[in-house]
Structure 1
Amino acid sequence: MTIETIGIVAAALVAALLISFITTPIVKDLAQKWGAVDVPKDGRRMHDHPIPRMGGLAIFFGFLFSVLIFFPFVPGGGLSRPIQGMLLGAVIIVILGIFDDIYALPALPKLLVQIVAASVAVISGNHIDTISNPNIFSAEPYWELGWLAIPVTIVWIVAVTNAVNLIDGLDGLACGVSTISSMTMLVIALSVAEPNVAVIAATLAGGCIGFLPYNLNPAKIFMGDTGSTFLGYVLGVVSVQGLFKYYTLISFVVPFLMLGLPIFDTCFAFIRRIAHGQSPMHADRSHIHHRLIDMGLNQKQAVAVLYVVSTILGLCAVVLTTISALRAMLLLFALCLAGAVGGLIYFNTRGHRAQEEQTEEKEQGEEEQS
């Protein structure tokens, strides 16, 4: 990677940051004018007063303008067909998010539009053709997906889109985690000389960083579904361009590490809901960030813990692509830490709930005796 290319990547990040930062107050006024306001009406909300949402529109503006400005200067770059497909799909996702933030659309229509947006990106050339075989003992190092490439890629993009959306439950959480994931992707792209992926990751990270001062606790504006689904969509598509295609034995692992926190939380939520006989799309208050709050942490502390977990997983992904001598040790350390945090959250939440049940039973017994 040349100094000139690194300069273009840095300029793209700064430009996206400034555009996002400047346009956020404008988007906030638009959100209030259009009625895109989050009113705390159930126990899942962590705020106690109405807050404008749709702030992801500012992130989108920073991302889009920075890509259009700087992509033509990337060596061998230009708005190729896959990039055009990604941008068109992103526009579809953002329009969907705006309507959802204003009118609170049902889940099924949103899912169908997300599939359409993912299909646009896939038909334009963003698809997973080959992945490494996770069975290291197999004689076949790769899996050729063939006709399965299209449905597998669509499922991946839609899954990541919704994974980021589902962790958007605390001030600054989804935006910060997306920043960490984007920076992880940026470092990996620079290390393997993929300037196109580097510019996209830099613009996404810049847009998030510019919005973050308004979104940290206490938040002045939420990104809403406009932002969370947009971030998830772009991360999903860019991971197809820059992670599944360019690595050998680690191509199967790196995307899951880079997006580890939202993927883990989504999988855990779906398993939990199905085990309780509920729809996988049923909203609840048992996400990992809710469990941290139930442990007694405040919003800032819970977000900081999840930032640390996401950063460790991101560093592990970077190391797996760069420093072979440390791969196994860092991966083991990250998995152990993630397991320890998960176990701590689980057992403390169980203990907290058991204590609440005992207190309620005791109070009921006292009332019956009186």
Structure 2
Amino acid sequence: MAGGVNRKISAASARSHTRRANRQSSPLTLHSGIFTKLLVVLFVGILALVYQAIQPTAPKIPGTPDGPPVTSPRIKLRDGRHLAYKEHGKPKDIAKYKIVFVHGFDSCRHDAVVANTLSQEIIDDLGIYIVSFDRPGYGESDPDPKRTPKSIALDIEELADKLGLGSRFYVIGYSMGGQVVWGCLKYIPHRLAGAVLLTPVINYWWPGFPANLSTEAYYQQFRQDQWTLRVIHYTPWLTYWWNTQKWFPASSVVAFHPDILSPPDKALISKLAPRGPYVPQVRQQGEYESIHRDLMIGFGTWEFDPMDLENPFPNGRGSVHLWQGDNDLFVPVTLQRFIAHRLPWIKYHELPQTGHFFAHAAGMCDAIVKTLLVGETAASA
């Protein structure tokens, strides 16, 4: 019967065999360890690049060594921030009506369309004082990283108090500034004598809108704006990156693409004088705390729904007016109509064959201000 073969292996031979085996396996182990470390380094590097890409640059605060100079009067707010303002019309000490104007998106205190186009006759006859101001992060007003619809309303109240406008005053907000007026109606209604929302920007995620109505209006936007608003609403921490990256088209509004203008707007703008030399001031602190912060607040999750508001003037001692063009490509008229239906105490004025910039038309602000201050009958006379 055949048996197994026994081999005697010397200790030296065994050690030699082990060394050869170790020499054959160690390169693989070494390469695997290096590869793992390289992956970790690469992953950390990518994370660092991503983090850097989504982090906005620090704002250039006016009056600081690295910031722009302060050229306008400013008030100091309760939290130490400064608010820059500009006064128009009659001196406030003798004016009968005092109005706070709230500028729109990518604008500043100089873009006070009501003050800039109101006729001198109306100013003198009615005795009108208007103050416009740079909203936080714009122009020469300090940024407010904690800005909310409530905080900006309280800023307006404090501005009115510091300037001595009295216990009650009027507010007029244009476009994104119109959104600010909703905050005033919510948080400082007791300080208001009346209010005007000029084609106020809406938020598609306000709960009061029927889902089918807001969805339909949402999908009427350009595809790039749909994606921009999704990013802003659901992942606000990516807003800066989305609006500065070059891979995908971002907001057409930020870029002021000509296709966002309706035919009435194009016709009107072609007749207007160019904006003044102040334009570089608008974004001089940086885009994040100005236009990006505006978008995050305007289309973020609000702390209240404007459609739940109650009439701030149940005794008839004031009025709220909403003006809207029926051919506005920035703000869907269908949603404004729903708001006006939901809040019947708002006096709704829809202008036919009119776009987003109707307030710049000759005589328009005269009619708007007269309607607010002395009533519709007097305004149409």
Q: Normalising to structure 2: TM-score of the pair? A: 0.25
**Bigger Rg over Cα:** 2
Structure with more helix by fraction:
1
Structure with more strand by fraction:
2
Q: Which of 1 and 2 has higher RCO (CA within 8 Å, sep 6+)?
A: 1
Q: Normalising to structure 1: TM-score of the pair? A: 0.25
